[in-house]
Chains A and B, each alone.
Chain A
Amino acid sequence: MIASIEPRLYSSVLPEGPLAVPLFEDWLDTVSFSDRKLEDRVKLAGEEILDNLIRHSGPLAGGSLRIELRVDAQTARLTFHFRSAAFRRFARSGGTPKADYDARDRRWRGLGLFMIGYLTRRVAYHTGLQGDRIEAEFGAP
């Protein structure tokens, strides 16, 4: 029998740019997870979502984004709050994830979306008057 644990809430602000991912890792290290596998899923998928967000959003309003994490014994919900017209356009462009070799960068690209799909239960993007947010849910419902 798994003891019920009250959900805990964590939040922080990350700067736009390449430092966002390592700072996200540092922040996640301060979060208390009771399930190591859940922690690993949040870390891997969170980094991929964040990396895509930074890459496709252009300048963010205020130069930063806010992250929130709600976690209990078996589930987690990670939310990225930001404002970016460029990301809205990117999100509308759609398309099917595809992994391909990039000869210029000498590596395979496109693996991130496959990873996100595997590691999360659900990912959703919302946009409105209050800005943009990406929500990722983990663990059994």
Chain B
Amino acid sequence: MNQLTIEERQENGRTVLEFAGPVNSYTFTEFQERVYKAVKKADLVVNLEKVTTLSSAGLGVLMAAMEEAEEGGRKLWIFKPSEIVRLAIESTGFTDKFPVLKTLKDLD
């Protein structure tokens, strides 16, 4: 069974969370905990390049985390979404709610 792995680093005052593996109904709790913990403290970049699937639960977490970040005066961006993640976002019909970065330099 594929596991969800998470790496965290700080870059220019922002937190970058890099996820690899599946974000599904089995792993989304861990995804949720890490995203919410990070977005409370600083702007957050969520790297989804190595994510192999993204379920509605994971998407629901991202949408709520974006709103929570905004309420706290912070921002959340999606970075390098994999093809399947792009399709998952597109399939919700809420594409405009997911700010996607092509490069981290876009933030500087």
Contacts and interface: CB of A to CB of B under 8 A. Distances in A.
A25 B56 contact: no
Interface residues of B, number: 31
B59 A48 contact: no
Interface stretch (A36-44, A76-84, A133-141): A36-44
B36 to A, nearest CB: 7
**Interface of A, helix, strand, loop or mixed by DSSP:** helix
Contacts of B56: 48, 51, 109-112, 115
Contacts of A22: 1-2, 22, 24, 26-27
Interface of A: 18-19, 21-23, 25-26, 36-37, 40-41, 43-44, 47-48, 51, 99, 101-102, 106-112, 114-115, 118-119
Interface of B: 1-2, 22, 24-27, 32, 36, 52-57, 59-61, 63-64, 67-68, 83-84, 87-88, 90-94
